[in-house]
Amino acid sequence: MHAFNINIYYQTYMKHLIIIGAGGMGRTIYDIARESNGYGTEYDIRGFIDDNISALENFDNYPPIIAPITGYNPDSEDIFVCSIGGQSRRKCMEEIISKGGKFLTMIHHTARIGTNVKIGEGTIVGAFTSIGADAKIGKYNMIQSYTVIGHDSQIGDWNRIDTHVTLVGGTIVQDEADIHTSAMISHNVTIESHSRVAACSFVIRRVKEGTTVLGNPAKKLL
């Protein structure tokens, strides 16, 4: 009888994850979600929302697209994760937030999370990512697989950090920055808001707001 009551508890309070966007990254997020902490105990996966309701037409073995993003009203048991990148990412998420929707902090079970690390709501941490001691990470970030975030780093909100990126200890990333694949940010460097670091770049000095840098060492794109 006791075991039966526990099962009822999970059925009543388990959240239903909805993935925003059913493109290639959405399908990747589906796989990450099934391998992340809390899957099957704290949440299951209800499906996708996408304005292109035919996005999964040629793909098998995925849950359905249940509605367009535009106009979707969250249920009380819904929880969300967003796969969309670029300028539309924040807009799509804020539409859901404005209606009371909550976003899952999704951490892959292989990620290494150091002592005293803080991670805000709605941040995604991909497979085999390492986050060093005392790092602070804000809300709604997408941190992809095999990335290293060094000790004492500070990351704000709404940032995209791609796979195989290295942020050496003490790095600061403000808000809404894009750091692309295999970039390396040197010790104590600041990446200001709305800036972009190109793939494979080595950044050794401050990147000012709204600028794009690339190369080794990274320089401002003219």
Residue at a domain's end among 50, 69, 97: 97
Residue 170 shares a structural domain with residue 134: yes
Residue at a domain's end among 62, 97, 132: 97
How confident is the model over 36-51, as pLDDT tens digits?
A: 999 999 999 999 999 9
> Residue 61, Cα to own-chain centre: how many angstroms?
23
Which residues, including other chains, have CB under 8 Å from residue 49's CB and lie 6 or more apart? 18, 19, 20, 21, 22, 65, 66, 67, 68, 69, 72
The pLDDT, as a whole number, for residue 70 is 85
Number of domains in the chain: 2
For β-strands 130-131 and 112-113, DSSP reports them as parallel
How confident is the model over 21-80, as pLDDT tens digits?
A: 999 999 999 999 999 999 999 999 999 999 999 999 999 999 999 999 988 999 999 999
* Neighbouring-strand partners of residue 192: none
Residue 31 shares a structural domain with residue 57: yes
* CB contact at 8 A, 203 and 179: no
Confidence of residue 221 (pLDDT cuts 50, 70, 90): confident
pTM: 0.89
- 32/22 Cα distance (integer angstroms): 14
- List the domain range (segments joined by +) for residue 203: 106-211
